[in-house]
Amino acid sequence: MKSPNADRHPARAGAGGFTLIEVLAAIVIVALGMLGVITAVTQTARNGTYLREKTLAHWIAMNVITEQRLQPSPPDVSETSDEVESAGQRWIWQMTVTQTSVQSMRRMDVSVRPAEWPEERTLTTVTGFYGEAISPATAAALSWASTSQPGGDGGGDGDGDGEGDGDGGNEDDDESPAPDRPNRPQQPPDDPDE
């Protein structure tokens, strides 16, 4: 005798779940996605380390250039190198000083690399210049005031405001100052209550 439920639920072949092929395909797809994520995270970490080291190397090169600029005499035209420690790491810098076409100026090229790198590789190169002052530091301040307009015959009244009766004055009597003279601050009006 047949059971009453046998007619309602006939046996279905293959309706029990995923096949082994479908499960393996899903695992391969998930593994490829995870491999892409791991590669991206690794590349980001590597880029962060590279940028940190490049920044440190740049700072070391700038320190070397600044030390040379603070010296009382220009550096010799030559190649020098030294080893320093910064941020718990050993660095090697090499400076090449060359004479420029300007007699009082020298060019400094500083290359920096980690100590474990080979000599031919550098992480960064910074260029700076050492120039001697055009005038000594104790020279008098430059005066911007003049007694006449440039290009005039000096016939002004001598107070430097360009409003004299000679040809050196400002021909246009507008309120704007001459373009080759600095603006002078306006004096505030006297307060009548004082």
Residues 6+ apart with CB under 8 A from 64: 93, 95, 108, 110
Angle at 50 between CA 44 and CA 55, to 5 degrees: 125
CA nearest neighbour of 120 among 144, 94, 90: 94
Percent of the chain with pLDDT over 70: 60
Of the pLDDT bands very low, low, confident and very high (cuts 50, 70, 90), residue 170 is very low
Q: What is the pLDDT of residues 120-136, one digit of tens each?
A: 899 999 999 998 766 66
Supply the pTM of this predicted model: 0.54
Neighbours of 158 (CB within 10 A): 12
Where are the chain's structural domains? 19-135
- Fold for the domain defined by 19-135: Pantoate--beta-alanine Ligase; Chain: A,domain 2 (3.30.1300)
Q: Above 70 in pLDDT, residue 166?
A: no
Look at 108 and 103; give whichever has higher pLDDT. Answer: 108
Q: What is the CA radius of gyration of the chain?
A: 40
Q: How far apart are the C-alpha atoms of 31 and 28, rounded to whole Å?
A: 5
